[in-house]
């Protein structure tokens, strides 16, 4: 089963992205806690792209694709025409350093790496795909 | 999407967060916490019973004040986190760095 959703790059759209995902994950029988954790990871990646890659330019958009594969889990593809930062190469900063420097950012990608089982960046001629995989049983 | 209120109750300030704190609304939490800490008051309870969602943007706000809280001998205790919100704090280990209690009664004992 495949679902897709295209959204303009506005921070206010993050809420819509979350409801779109929640609906799908509920439908496929995920527990509330598992669903909310996955929604969080996707929210983080989308927020990152909308804010840092697109400067919240509502004329630009990103696309989200959810592929539910039953026993083998769920794949989330976040498709963007602009460059996607390779999360898999992101080196987690130490929490103590973030606290000391009183930084507010830098936590999102840590969450994504801790929540997802696999992170892959696929570069195609006219688009880049951030593919996040969660090995979880779904119906 | 998020509403943050602060009222004085007895010997502490009660900060209530209602709604969702994400990248688009974390600034409101940040402003409210910054104003609260700038008030010079030393004891705060943060009511999270109506906090429906928090992303890293919101967690980052709490983290950015940990140093100030320590330095200024401020007590800030969160309570009433629902299971989903508590889980986000736990994934990052923030539950070990912030004072988090089950309910208001327990939280008050920490002050």
Q: How many domains does chain B divide into?
A: 1
* Residue A100 DSSP SS3: helix
Residue B44 maps to which CATH number?
3.30.750.24
- Which residues have a Cβ under 8 Å from the Cβ of B41 and sit 6 or more positions away? B8, B12, B13
Question: Do residue B59 and residue A107 have CB atoms under 8 angstroms apart?
Answer: yes
Q: Is the pLDDT of residue B51 over 90?
A: yes
Domain ranges across chain A: 2-134
Structure tokens at B8: 């004085």
Is the distance from CB of A86 to CB of A121 less than 8 angstroms?
yes
DSSP letters of A34-71?
HHHHHHHHHHHHHHHIIIIITTT-TTSEEEEEEEE-GG
Q: Is the pLDDT of residue A88 over 80?
A: no
Tens-digit pLDDT profile for residues B24-49: 999 999 999 999 999 999 999 999 99
A2-134 has which CATH code? 3.30.565.10
- How high is the pLDDT of residue A91? 83
| B20 and chain A in contact, CB less than 8 A | yes
- How high is the pLDDT of residue A63? 96
Interface test with A, best of B24, B85, B98 (most A CBs within 10 A): B24
Question: Do residue B92 and residue A107 have CB atoms under 8 angstroms apart?
Answer: yes
Shortest CA gap B5–chain A (Å): 21
- Which residues have a Cβ under 8 Å from the Cβ of A107 and sit 6 or more positions away? A98, B56, B59, B60, B63, B92
Tens-digit pLDDT profile for residues B70-110: 999 999 999 999 999 999 999 999 999 999 999 999 999 99
Question: Do residue B66 and residue A47 have CB atoms under 8 angstroms apart?
Answer: no
Q: Is the pLDDT of residue A87 over 90?
A: no
What proportion of chain B, given as a percentage, has pLDDT over 90? Answer: 98
């Amino acid at each position: 089963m495949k679902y897709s959703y295209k959204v303009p790059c506005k921070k206010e759209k993050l809420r819509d992205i979350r409801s779109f995902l929640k609906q799908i994950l509920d439908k496929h029988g995920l527990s509330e806690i598992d669903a909310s954790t996955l929604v969080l990871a996707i929210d983080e990646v989308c927020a990152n792209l909308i804010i840092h890659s697109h400067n919240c330019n509502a004329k630009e958009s990103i696309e989200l694709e959810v592929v539910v594969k039953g026993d083998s889990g769920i794949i989330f593809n976040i498709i963007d025409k602009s460059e996607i930062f390779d999360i898999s190469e992101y080196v987690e900063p130490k929490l103590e350093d973030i606290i000391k420097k009183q930084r507010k950012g830098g936590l999102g990608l840590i969450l994504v790496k801790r929540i997802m089982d696999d992170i892959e960046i696929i570069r195609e001629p006219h688009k880049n795909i951030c593919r996040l995989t969660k090995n979880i049983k779904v119906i | 999407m998020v509403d943050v209120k602060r009222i004085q109750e007895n010997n502490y300030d009660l900060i209530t967060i209602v709604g969702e704190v994400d990248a688009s609304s974390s600034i409101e939490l940040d402003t409210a916490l910054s104003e609260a800490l700038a008030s010079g008051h030393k004891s705060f309870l943060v009511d999270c019973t109506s906090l429906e969602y928090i992303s890293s943007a919101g967690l980052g706000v709490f983290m950015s004040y940990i140093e100030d809280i320590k330095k200024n001998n401020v007590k800030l205790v969160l309570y009433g986190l629902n299971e989903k919100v508590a889980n986000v704090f736990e994934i990052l280990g923030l539950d070990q760095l912030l004072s988090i209690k089950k309910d208001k009664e327990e939280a008050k004992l920490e002050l």
